[in-house]
Structure formats: structure tokens, C-alpha cells
């Protein structure tokens, strides 16, 4: 089940309309709606003044973009405003970001809806944190609520704890609440038995507040599941 983040980016709001990518001007009692739609410029070479390459492993994609739209992200703004960007290099290369996720976030900056399939949730959260798009924090929190399940919450919590330093507190609170309410169901999943020692250490190291309400009993159940898994092989 994919969850869709509606209403596009604040960029379209800046154009003056609640409808995505459209400008509304009040003239007396009449409303004159401009045909301009920022979404038509998604990955368009028309007036493009910068390119972005997203790479993740062997996946690599280059898209056309426009500085006016990208400037909504503090990450992109810093890159474009730096001396490196001003030297004439109009090509940003962003390693470690899945091309599909990177393209979806850039499209959101132009006013497109952002659909979030379950397998994209963690890559999306880590990318939003890395690109410092704090305006998406609350919206993503709503969809984190919608997509958490007993079989994926520990993987997502570990990923947020390790890779989302800017926004991890609010997102981890959501994971912690879900874990507390569904601990028995979580312990019955294969995902619980396969949590790595490294991921468990990352989660138990979180403080203020901790991810697990009762970390010692939770760890004991995990160690028992690990031992049973080894003995059963």
C-alpha cells in the first residue's frame, strides 16, 4: 500500500494557490487563474540551469532541474550558493540516494504529490533528513504512523536512529510508541529474530527518550530468539 503525501511543496503555495502549481490572483470579486503549472518543468531541459545525478550502488540517474525550485531545500541551497557552485559547475552529484527517491523528492519541490510505497519509507526518511527538508517532517510523521507494521518497525527504527540525526527524535517517538503497543506481535515476527546485533546496539543506545520502554526484557526476548534460531539451524 502506497501512501500519498498531498498538497505538493510550499513552492506552489508561494505561487499563491491551494491547487498544486497554479497561481490565483484576486481582482475585485473575480478570480483569474494562471495556466502556469510548475509540475510541467519536472525533469525538463526547458530553462533548466542545473542537473542532479543521484547514485546508489549501481543505480544512477541524471535529471534536469531549476535552481528556483531546488532552493526550498537547505541542502540544495547550500550546495548552489557555495563557491563550488558559483565557479560554474551546474551539476550536483548526490551519492547514496536511490534515484527513484531522489527524483520523487525533487518532483515534490515542483508541486507533485509524493507517493510512499512501504519499501521506500526508510530511504525516503533518510533522504529527507539528509536534504534538510524540515517542512516535510510533520507530513512524513503522519505517513510513518500509517506504514509501521510489526515486521518493519525495528528495521525502520534502527535506520532512523543511525541515519536521521536532524529529525530522528520525533520519528523515533512514533516508532517507540508503536513498539510499546505491539511488542508481543513484534516478537512473533521473523524480522524480530533476524535483527542484527549492530542494529540492536544502535537502538538501545538512543536516549532522551529511549526507543524501548523496558529495554532489558526486550533484549532478553531478542537474545532468546537469537539463541533459538542458532539452535534450530
> Looking at residue 27, which CATH number applies to its domain?
3.30.710
Low-confidence ranges of the chain (pLDDT < 70): 1-29, 83-89, 229-233
pLDDT at 28: 56
**Domain annotation covers residue 127:** no
Domains of the chain: total: 2
pLDDT at 47: 94
Please check whether residues 86 and 185 belong to one and the same domain: no
pLDDT at 19: 45
Please check whether residues 102 and 11 belong to one and the same domain: yes
pLDDT at 14: 47
What is the three-class DSSP state of 110?
coil
**Domain annotation covers residue 125:** no
Q: Which helix (H) or strand (E) holds 52?
A: strand 50-56
pLDDT at 166: 85
pLDDT at 197: 94
pLDDT at 231: 54
Q: Which domain holds residue 29?
A: 1-117
pLDDT at 77: 87
Please check whether residues 34 and 105 belong to one and the same domain: yes
Please check whether residues 4 and 112 belong to one and the same domain: yes
CA separation (Å) from 75 to 79, 81, 128?
Answer: 6, 10, 10
180: left (phi over 0), alpha (psi -120 to 50) or beta: alpha
pLDDT at 114: 81
pLDDT at 9: 64
What is the rounded CA–CA span in Å between residue 149 and residue 146?
9
**72-124 pLDDT tens trace:** 888 888 888 774 556 666 888 899 999 999 999 999 999 998 887 888 899 99
Please check whether residues 92 and 192 belong to one and the same domain: no
pLDDT at 102: 94
Amino acid at each position: 500500500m502506497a501512501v500519498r503525501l498531498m498538497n505538493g511543496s510550499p513552492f506552489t503555495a508561494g505561487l499563491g494557490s491551494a491547487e498544486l502549481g497554479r497561481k490565483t490572483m484576486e481582482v475585485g470579486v473575480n478570480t483569474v487563474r494562471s495556466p502556469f503549472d510548475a509540475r510541467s518543468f519536472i525533469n525538463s531541459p526547458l530553462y533548466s540551469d542545473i542537473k542532479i545525478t543521484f547514485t546508489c550502488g549501481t543505480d544512477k540517474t541524471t535529471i534536469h532541474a531549476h535552481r528556483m525550485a531546488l532552493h526550498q531545500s537547505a541542502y540544495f541551497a547550500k550546495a548552489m550558493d557555495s563557491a563550488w557552485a558559483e565557479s560554474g559547475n551546474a551539476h550536483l552529484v548526490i551519492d547514496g540516494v536511490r534515484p527513484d527517491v531522489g527524483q520523487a523528492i525533487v518532483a515534490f519541490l515542483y508541486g507533485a504529490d509524493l507517493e510512499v510505497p512501504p519499501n521506500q519509507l526508510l530511504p525516503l526518511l533518510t533522504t529527507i533528513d539528509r536534504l534538510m527538508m524540515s517542512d516535510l517532517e510533520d507530513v512524513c510523521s503522519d505517513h510513518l504512523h500509517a506504514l509501521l507494521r510489526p515486521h518493519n518497525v525495528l528495521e525502520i527504527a534502527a535506520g532512523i536512529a543511525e541515519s536521521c540525526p536532524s529529525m530522528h527524535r520525533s520519528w523515533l517517538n512514533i516508532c517507540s510508541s508503536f513498539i510499546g503497543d505491539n511488542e508481543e506481535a513484534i516478537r512473533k515476527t521473523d524480522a524480530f529474530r533476524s535483527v542484527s546485533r549492530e542494529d540492536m546496539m544502535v537502538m538501545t543506545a538512543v536516549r532522551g527518550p529511549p526507543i524501548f520502554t523496558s529495554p532489558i526484557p526486550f533484549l532478553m526476548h531478542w537474545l532468546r530468539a537469537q539463541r533459538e534460531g542458532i539452535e534450530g539451524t
